[in-house]
Structure 1
Amino acid sequence: MNDAESSTAVSDLTWYKSSYSGTEGGQCLEVAAGTGVVYVRDSKAVAGPVVRVSREAWSGFVGSASSVRGA
């Protein structure tokens, strides 16, 4: 289940951007870990909407993305 939340509701979280993200300002996502959930937002719109997914869903997404990247 995915829920959109306001960035202000999750402003106390520590956000991380992928080490694969460059400094040239391309399209990047930031993630933050919550209790049992992972929050995802657009790095260029930090005041915009935040998507909340379960840790299991995030883990599945990362695993799928890793297998595609390695193909």
Structure 2
Amino acid sequence: MNEARPSPTRWRKSRHSNSQAGECVEVAGLSDAVAVRDSKDLGGPVLPLHAATWRSLLRDIKNS
């Protein structure tokens, strides 16, 4: 999996995120994965997830 940091212009935050609480994650598409980071720590660690893992995570969140 490519773990290069995506360009900052490619990061997205959910339109459902609450900017007041500051508890958001941002995602960016990579060629073979989805990168996830904490929106409060833009220079911090990036978690790369395979696309299938990302889809599974989203499905689990929606079903909880």
State the percentage of identical aligned residues. 34
RMSD (Å) for aligned C-alpha atoms = 1.5
TM-score, reference length from structure 1: 0.77
State the number of aligned residues.
Answer: 61
Give 1:11 shift: 4.3
Q: Relative contact order (C-alpha < 8 Å, sep 6+): which is higher?
A: 1
Q: Which deviates further from its counterpart, 30-39 or 17-26?
A: 17-26
Of the two, which has the highest radius of gyration?
1
Give 1:25 shift: 4.2
Task: Kindly indicate whether residue 49 of structure 2 is the aligned counterpart of residue 57 of structure 1.
Answer: no
Where does residue 28 of structure 2 map in the other structure? Answer: 32
| Correspondence list, 1:1-71, <5 A | 9-12=4-7, 14-68=10-64
Which sections of structure 2, spanning at least 5 residues, go unmatched?
none
- Structure 1 stretches of 4+ with a deviation exceeding 2 A read none
TM-score, reference length from structure 2: 0.84
* Larger strand share, 1 or 2: 1
